Amino acid sequence: MIKSYEGFGRFFEDLEIGRIYKHKSIKKITAEDNRLFCELTHNYHPLHLDEKYAKKSFHGKIVVVGTYVASLVVGLSVEDISGKAIANLSYENIKHHAPVFIGDTLRAETEIISVRESRTKTDRGIVKVETRAFNQDGVQVLSLQRTILIPKKRE
C-alpha cells in the first residue's frame, strides 16, 4: 500500500520517449488472488480454478486468468506512470507470452513509446506506453500498450 501520494505518478513533461521505468512493486500470485478475480469477473473456467481439471490440461496445473495478469501489470505501473492520469484512453496489443501460475512473482517495466500535446486542451498531453511483465525466472509473460491522458505541470 502506498504511504504517501506525494510524488505519485508523473506529469506529461516528465515522460520522455524511450525512457524505461523498472517498477519497484512486485506481486506473488496466490491461489486466493486468482480465485477472487475469477469470482469478481464470473470467469469460472476450470483451467483457472479446478486443480483436478488443470492437472489433465496442457500445462498440468492451474493457469492464472490472463485478465488478472493484465490488470495486475497495469497496477504495478501506476505509481511510476499514470498516478496523475486524467484517464486511460485505450488498452491495446495485449499479448500473453507465457503462462502465469500460482506462486509466480511478477515484476514489470514500462517504456514510453510516444508523447504529444493535446490538440484541444493546453493543460494536458497524451502518452503511449508499453508495459512488460516478467516472472521470477525473468521470463516475459505479458506485454500491453496503453494510451494515457496526463496533465501538464501547473505554472
Domain-embedded: residue 7: no
Residue 41 resides in a domain: yes
pLDDT in tens, the chain (155 residues): 555 556 678 999 999 999 999 999 999 999 999 999 999 999 999 999 999 999 999 999 999 999 999 999 999 999 999 999 999 999 999 999 999 999 999 999 999 999 999 999 999 999 999 999 999 999 999 999 999 999 999 86
Q: How many domains does the chain have?
A: 1
- Can you give the residue range of the structural domain that contains 124? 16-151
pTM: 0.91
> Is 2 among the domain residues?
no
Tell me the three cell numbers of residue 87. Answer: 484517464
Q: Is residue 88 part of a domain?
A: yes
Q: What is the CATH number of the domain that holds 22?
A: 3.10.129.10
Is residue 6 situated within a structural domain?
no
